[in-house]
Amino acid sequence: MSGAKHSRRDDQPARAEHRDDDVADFAAIDSIDYYGSRVDATRYDVVYAWVKAWAQRREGRTIALAGVPTINVTRDDPRFKAAYEHADLVLPDGMPLVWALHHAGFADAERLCGPDLMEWFCRDAARDGIPVGLYGSTPQTLSEIRTNYTRRFPGLDVRYTYSPPFRPLADDEEAEVAADIRRAGVGILFVSLSFPEHAFWLARQRDRAGCVLVAVGGAFAIAAGELSAPPRWVQRAGLQWLFRILQEPRRLLKRYLVHNTRYLWLIASHLFGRSAIPRKRTLRSARRLAD
């Protein structure tokens, strides 16, 4: 991206490590507008510094993930776009978005996918004494996650789990859910709901639940041991979508074929001059996350 600049302090740690500097060191995060979708340029250590501060103050915040399907749905649905625009952080889940950030000048931007975020947050929350919760999936899956993660991360306090019914909750039911989350004292709530409903749920609950709501996509199945995470080389190559299709072809084949085809057409339309959307997008102004 022309004119995009991103500085990195020499003393910052490697990927997925945490530092105890005051959160004021990370007072702003830049983002790009990639084909109409906001994507924040950041790394795990920066994200966790903010999450820790928010969780300890019991602030209502939301963290969303952005991938190729996000780009397509953002262009189709103004409500979905608004929900993502109002999220406190929108992290790059898919490698095409990471490559776009690198092209924009953010060489240190990392892919922060749901399974990794959930694992790293739980590891650091156990160390820092931050209670966590789980929202979504089935009771059996939630039980397996609790068992696996409390064994892997001694001291992890899983204060709350809820498997919602397979129907939209009424307003009074959602209000009761938010009250239960607050009463449990959850600092970080991991949310695994269907796409794109998760975006609307996060937006509705942000100011009611009193914690950091983190969308983690299909991470629950991996955390429970029901599915395997793709190897790192597959993720770096941007082929995690193919890995997931091979694991769940009946559920995911149509979804990925539709979204990937639309995305490739969007790129091709730009390259051949048929799209008015520029490849290089203007940087959003740095946002003060402490507000």
The structure tokens listed for 174 are 């959602």
pLDDT at 282: 41
Give the 3-state secondary structure of 159-186: EEEECCCCCCCCHHHHHHHHHHHHHHCC
- 20: confidence class by pLDDT, cuts 50, 70, 90: very low
Q: Count the neighbouring beta carbons within 10 Å of the beta carbon of residue 87.
A: 22
E strand map for 113-223? 132-136, 158-162, 188-192, 212-215
Q: In this predicted model, which residue has the larger pLDDT, 270 or 186? A: 186
The structure tokens listed for 186 are 């959850």
pLDDT at 23: 44
pLDDT at 222: 95
Establish how many alpha carbons lie within 13 A of residue 287's alpha carbon, considering only the half-sphere containing its beta carbon.
19
pLDDT at 288: 46
Position 281 pLDDT exceeds 90: no
From 133, 99, 92, 112, select the one nearest 48 (Cα to Cα): 112
* pLDDT average, residue stretch 167-181: 95
Query: How much of the chain is in helix, strand and coil states, percent to nearest 5?
Result: 45, 15, 40
Q: Contact at 8 Å (CB) between 133 and 164? A: no
pLDDT digits (tens, 9 = 90+) for 28-60: 688 999 988 999 999 999 999 999 999 999 999
Q: pTM (2 decimals)?
A: 0.83
Task: Please state the domain extents for the chain.
Answer: 29-229+276-288
